[in-house]
Structure 1
């Protein structure tokens, strides 16, 4: 099992868990607030991207952002498809950091930059993601493969015994 993730519960796996759950919780709360106050979110988003600007096409994608954030946060929180969800979270973080810098909202851009640093850190230390749904899926798959290999070896052993008995 050591080929999958860290085999022992050490400070790195515990730290990874705390950061992943903390970041996932923060992102989930942020997404839920945007979903609950959806009309306010849309009005605020329109302020950043007015229709007449060169970024006006982004207004078409604005309605799906809270839903996308919600699912990415949920996947990071549970550790399900952690690598892919972190890639999407990093991509969204880079986009929104650049957008807020472009529009002049430096405080919001800095907030997104801080979470972006955490996302990149989690992505590059994915090896320590032992307490997650991904690890459980890998572990059960590994157990099933080991069981299948053991049964195959037993069948081959039985076949050798049968062949040797038939040869007598």
Structure 2
């Protein structure tokens, strides 16, 4: 599985910023409200980040050899996918709100409630990207060096049997 690519995060952010700006101009020009996420979305984003980080900490404890029970490889793979999805979603949401903010700041000023909501969502989204990247780092396998942390408690034959499903 490939790792998070910062260039892709940047391209997603820029693309969604363009789409957010177009949506903002089109909707507000026709009398609709700005398409920003509301405050309850922040709670959902924070809960998603907490869950992602919690799963990531379990994987990290396993790779460091601090987890007494075995970690299902499928759970570790799902945690990695969740971390990457969190980072990409954060990039998408940050770009969308940055595009909206580009149009709002020149007309509404910094004291507007929609501007404040956009800024809060951008900051929370950037935290999502960071959490996703950190959890992805937690999911990296330790080196094959027997003296490396986390590999001292595991027997290679046990790992091979476990991965093959014979245990």
CA radius of gyration, larger in: 1
Q: What TM-score, normalized to structure 1?
A: 0.34
More helix by share: 1
- Structure with greater contact order relative to length (CA < 8 Å, sep ≥ 6): 2
